[in-house]
Chain A
Amino acid sequence: MSRFVDLPRYVCALGGAVATINALLGAVPILHAGAGCGGNIGNAFNGASGHLGSGYCGGMALPSSNVFEREIVFGGEERLTEQIETTLEIIDGDLFVVVSGCMVEIIGDDIRAVAGKFRRADRPVLAVETGGFKGNSYKGYDLVLKALFRDFVDESSVKDGKTVNLWGIVPAQDVFWKGNLRVLKSLLEKLGLKVNTFFGDGETLDGLKKAGSAALNIVVSNIYGIEAAELFREIHGVPYISVPFPIGHYATENFLRSVGNALNLETGVPDELIKEEKKTYFNYLERVIDLYNDMDLQRYAVVVGDANYAPALTRFLSDDLGWLPELAIITDLLDDGQKGRLALEFVGYHSGIEPRVAFDTDTSGVVNHVNKCRPENDGSGYYDGFNPGFIVGSSFEKDIAETLGMPLLTVSYPVSNRVVLDRSYAGYEGGLRLAEDILSILVSGR
C-alpha cells in the first residue's frame, strides 16, 4: 500500500501528462477534468520548474472541460465533445491530446470514444487516461509517450541505421530538460546520427511521426520512459537501451560508448571525439585548480533528487569534482525493482567512495538521514563531523541547508529560487555548468 507524502516533489499523472504535451511543439492538451486541475498543475510547474512560464497554451490558457457537479452526476462526455469542438475552432494547434482527471475516470467517461468522434477532423485528436490516482507526474509522462507511440507514430518497416530517438528526460519535472536534450542531441550528432528528442529545440511533430524508422531508442534514465520504450519495441520493433543521465566526463564517455556499442557502429565511438571533448572540458575546468586548492574547495555533500539526478549528481561530485558525497536521497515513488536498479548506479566509483543511498518520499525525512549519516559528536571538542558540507537538492532543502549551515544548489524539482532558460547539466557542457554553479556559491561571499 502506498502512503502519504510529506511535501511531494511532483504532481499527479495528469500534471505530468499536461507538462509533457505542452513541451511538444504544436501539440495542445485538452483537459477533461475539474476546473482547478489545470490551474493547480500550471502553478506547480510555472513556479517551481525554474519559472518555466505558461508556454504556448499552458497555464491559465489550458483548454479544459471544467466539469462540475452536473457532469459528475449526469456524465461528462457531452461536455467533452463540445469542448473539443470549440477548442478546434479557437486554438491554433497541430495535434490535440485529451487527458483526463480523476473525477471523469471515476464516473466512467470514455474519453477515447469521444476523441474517436473527431477522426475526420482536419487535425488529429488523441486521448489518454491520466487520472491523478494512477500515479505521479513521471507516470503521466510515460502514459503520454505510450499514447503517442501507439496512436501517432507511423509504423515503418524500413529502419534507418543512423537515426535514433532519445527520451527519459521528463519535461518540467527535469527543470533543465530542454537544455539537457539539446546537449545530448548535439553530442550524438557528432557520431553522425540523426536524433529525435521530440521535446527539444527544433523538433517537430513530423519528426515524432516518423520516429518508427529509428534504429535505436535511447532512454536516458533507468526509470522514466522505460514502459514507453517497451511498448515502442513491441509496436515498432525498435530496440532500446537504458543509460544513466550523464554529467561530466566519465559519465558522458560511458554514455557515448553505450550508444556506440548498441548501434554496432562500425568505427565504434571515435576515440578522437572523446579526446577532443575531454580536452575542451579540462581546458575550462583546469582554471579552478588554483582556487580549488588555495581555498580548499573540497566538500562533504548530500544529494537529494529524483531517480535521474540523484545518481548523476552524486557520481559527478565524487568522480569529476573529487568531493565526498556521503549521502544520496532519492525522493521518487518507486517499487522494489526500481530501487534495486537505482542502487546499482551508486557503485563502482573511480574515487572509491560508496555513498549511502536512501529512498524517501518525505521531505522531512531528509534531516533524519543526514543525522544518521553523520558521526555523533561526543562533546570532547574534537569532532570529525560533516563539515564543510554542501547540499545539491531542491528548493525544499532550503530549511535543512540553513539549519545545517550548508550551502545549497537547487537542481532537482522543485526549483523556485532560480530562473532557468537554456541551461543544461548534461554531458561535458553540463559538467562545466554544474562546476560553475556549485563553485560560484562557494565564492559568492567575495
Chain B
Amino acid sequence: MDFTKEKIPPVREDRLGACNAFGGTCHALSRQAKTGCLNNIRRSFTQTQGCQLNLSLIILSTIRDTVIIVHGPIGCGGGNIPMANGIKTFQKLRDPAAKGVVWLNTNLDETDLIKGGEEKLEEAILHADREFRPSAIIVINSCAPGIIGDDIDGLAEKLKDRVTAEIVPVHCEGFKTKIMATAYDSLYHGILRNLIDRADNPVPAGEAKGNSRKVNLLNLSSMSRIDEIELERLLGVLGLEARILPCYAHPDDFGDIRDAALNVSVCATHDDYLTGHLREKYGIPVVTSDIPVGIAATGKWLMNIARFFGLEKEAGQLIESETGKLEKALEPYRKLFKGKRAYVAGGEIRIFATAELLADLGFEIVGLHGFHYDRFMDDLLESRPDKEKMIINIGSGQPFEQSNILEKLKPDLFVGHLGINGWAGKHGIPVFAIFGPGASYMGYKGAFEISRRLARILRNPMFSRNIGENARLPYARQWYEKSAFAYLEDGDPTSQPSKGAEYGQQLPA
C-alpha cells in the first residue's frame, strides 16, 4: 500500500512486527515471532536507548547542500554536536566542495509549548533559506511539537513559494515508537513525498528504465567510502554503474532515482520502505540480500544482482577469482583465530553476517545481541544450524543485560555497536567495532581488512585488560547472580517473567 499519501508513516511495531525486548535462543525468538506476541514483551528496568530523531538526524546530516532544522526544545538533536566536522570530512570524499553540516534548533521554550511553535519554525526556515541558500531544508519534528500539534507540513506548504529551497518535513516524534529503525521509514517518507514523488518530476521514459545498467546502490551512514568503492568496483566488473545514495548524496540525486534498472540494498531493514515504494509505484525491482560482509555474503549479494541482469556466469567467475586470492591471504589469520570465543552485538542484519564471517575465520560464536527484531531477521534466525542453542538478546543498547551475559560467558572478543563497546571494554574484553564510517568492512577487501584488524586487536589487548581490572561497573553484585533476562516481562502483569529468563539462567555461571 502507498503510505506516502499520509503525512506520517506507520511505526515499525505495526508495519513489521518489530520488537526490542527478548532474551532466549534464536529458535525461541523465531517461534515466538510467529505467534505475533513479541511486542508484548517489556522490561521493568530500562536504560536509555535512542529515538528515531537521533538516528534520522545522523543520516539526514550526511546529505549535502541542506540545512536541517530540528523543531523542538534546545536539547533535541544535540547528539549531532560531535558529528559535524566528521561528516564534513566524509562529505568531501564525495564532493570536495561540500559545505558540511548546518543544523538549527528552534529552541522551543515554555511559552512556545502553550502558544505553539510554528512561528518560530517559520522564522528558522526563512533564516535558513536566506543565510545558507541550500537546495533543501529538512525540518525534523521532535516529541514536544508533535504533542502540541504544530503542523510542519502545513507550514512547509505555506512557505514553499517564499523560499528557494525544497522543504522536506520529516516526522520523528521519539515517543511514537520503541524501534529506532523507524527512523529509516520516517526519513525515506519525507524524501519520497518531497524529493521523489513530485508532479514536477516526471517518471523517465520507458527505454531508459529496465534496459539500463544503472543501479541505485543504497548506502548506510555507518558505511565508509572505502566500502562504497569496494562495492562499486565489484559491480563495475559486471558492467554495472552505481548511483550511491541516500547518505552523502545531493538532494537532486533523489529526483533522478527512478531512472535506474534496479535498486540494490545492502540492508533490508534500512531500505525496505524506500525500495518497496519504488517497486510498487514505479515498478523498479529490488535486490536485497544480507549485507555483503564476509565471503559468503558478498558472493550471495553479487550473484543475486547478477541474476537480475543475466550475468550469472560473469559473477561466478568474479567470485571465484576474488575468493581464490582472498583465501590465500586469510590463511595465516585462520590459525590465529581458531577456537577463540566471540560475542556479536549490533544491528539485526549485521550481526548475522558478521557472525558468519567470524565463524568462517575460526571463531566460536557464543552469543548474539540485536538492537531490534523485525521480520527481516526470520530467515537469519532459522538458517543458523545452532539455532536451538544460540543465545540471542534483543534490546536497543541495554548494557545491563550485556554485562550480565559477558560476566557469565567471558568471551575472548566482543564485536559490538557504538555506544556499548566501552561497556564491554570495562569487562576487560578486547573489542572490535562492528561498523565504522572510516574503515573497511564490506566485500572481499572488507573480509581481509576485518581479519587484519582482529589480529591486531587480539595481539595486544592490554588496554582493555588494564581498564577492566581497575574500572567499576555500575551494577550491584546480586545482578550478576540473576538471569540476564530477569527483567523481561510479558505485557500481561499477571504472567510470569518471559520465557527468555529460563534460557538466561542456563548461561554458564
Contact = CB atoms under 8 A, between A and B. Distances in A.
Partners in one complex: yes
Interface of A: 1-15, 28, 31, 34-44, 46-48, 53-54, 56-57, 59-69, 71-72, 82-83, 85-87, 89-93, 102-103, 106, 131-137, 333, 364, 395-396, 398-399, 414, 416-417
5 contacts: A7-B84, A34-B51, A133-B109, A137-B75, A364-B132
A93 B45 CA distance: 15
Given A54-B422, A395-B82, 12 more contacts: A5-B74, A7-B84, A9-B81, A15-B78, A40-B76, A42-B419, A60-B399, A60-B419, A72-B175, A90-B476, A132-B76, A364-B131
Contacts of A31: 48
B123 interface: yes
B120 A3 contact: yes
B178 to A, nearest CB: 6
Contacts of A66: 46, 48-49, 178
Given A39-B79, A57-B474, A5 B104 contact: yes
B175 A68 contact: yes
B479 A35 contact: no
Contacts of A34: 51, 143, 174-175
A83 B107 contact: no
B56 to A, nearest CB: 10
Among A59, A60, A137, A414, max chain B CB count under 10 A is at A60
Contacts of B201: none
Contacts of B32: none
A44 B81 contact: yes
A82 B100 CA distance: 44
Contacts of B72: 132
A12 B108 CA distance: 10
Nearest to A51: B82
Contacts of A4: 69, 104-107, 120-121, 123-124, 127
B90 interface: no
Given A48-B82, A59-B419, A364 B48 contact: no
Nearest to A36: B51
A39 B474 contact: no
Contacts of A48: 81-82
Contact of A44 (B78, B474, B478, B479): B78
A115 B310 CA distance: 66
A39 B50 contact: yes
B77 interface: yes
B475 A90 contact: yes
A238 B475 CA distance: 37
A56 B474 contact: yes
Contacts of B104: 4-7
A368 B100 CA distance: 18
B240 to A, nearest CB: 37
B54 A136 contact: no
Contact of B47 (A61, A103, A399): A61
B69 A103 contact: no
A47 B105 contact: no
A102 B281 CA distance: 39
Interface stretch (B110-118, B320-328, B435-443): B110-118
Nearest to B101: A7
Contacts, number: 252
B179 to A, nearest CB: 10
B52 interface: yes
Contacts of A133: 73-74, 108-110, 112-113, 144
Nearest to B110: A133
Interface in B295-352: none
B78 A102 contact: no
Contacts of B44: 82-83, 85-86
A364 B124 CA distance: 13
B443 to A, nearest CB: 29
A127 B483 CA distance: 30
B423 interface: yes
Contacts of A43: 54, 78-82, 419
B81 to A, nearest CB: 5
Contacts of B131: 6, 364
A100 to B, nearest CB: 12
Contact of B175 (A53, A57, A67): A67
Among A15, A35, A56, A396, max chain B CB count under 10 A is at A35
Nearest to B50: A39
Contacts of B47: 38, 60-64
Contact of B82 (A10, A35, A102, A416): A416
Contacts of A60: 47-49, 397-399, 419-420, 423
A286 B83 CA distance: 39
B66 interface: no
A412 to B, nearest CB: 12
Given A35-B50, A103-B175, A414-B81, A41 B69 contact: no
A426 B176 CA distance: 45
B103 interface: yes
B60 to A, nearest CB: 15
A116 to B, nearest CB: 21
B274 interface: no
Among A5, A43, A57, A135, max chain B CB count under 10 A is at A43
B185 to A, nearest CB: 16
Contacts of A53: 422
A115 to B, nearest CB: 17
A332 B50 CA distance: 26
Given A8-B105, A61-B474, A83-B46, A36 B73 contact: no
Contacts of B80: 43
A82 B487 CA distance: 11
Given A5-B105, A36-B54, A68-B175, A63 B46 contact: yes
A91 B82 CA distance: 29
A136 B54 CA distance: 18
B78 A12 contact: yes
A39 B109 contact: no
A244 B12 CA distance: 52
Among B48, B423, B487, max chain A CB count under 10 A is at B48
A63 B474 CA distance: 11
B53 interface: yes
Contacts of A44: 75, 78-79, 81-82
B141 interface: no
B436 to A, nearest CB: 14
B74 A12 contact: yes
A175 B109 CA distance: 26
Nearest to B85: A398
A91 B476 contact: yes
B407 to A, nearest CB: 13
A365 to B, nearest CB: 9
B230 to A, nearest CB: 27
Contact of B48 (A38, A68, A91): A38
Among B69, B75, B104, max chain A CB count under 10 A is at B75
A380 to B, nearest CB: 31
A116 B399 CA distance: 28
Contacts of B487: 86, 90
B8 to A, nearest CB: 13
A398 B398 CA distance: 35
Given A35-B49, A133-B109, A28 B474 contact: yes
A37 B49 CA distance: 8
B38 to A, nearest CB: 16
A345 B366 CA distance: 61
A82 B44 CA distance: 7
Contacts of B477: 92
A55 to B, nearest CB: 9
Nearest to A53: B422
Interface string B147-178: 11000000000000000000000000011111
Given A4-B106, A83-B46, A35 B73 contact: no
Contacts of B147: 72, 103, 106
Contact of B111 (A1, A42, A93, A103): A1
A62 B398 CA distance: 9
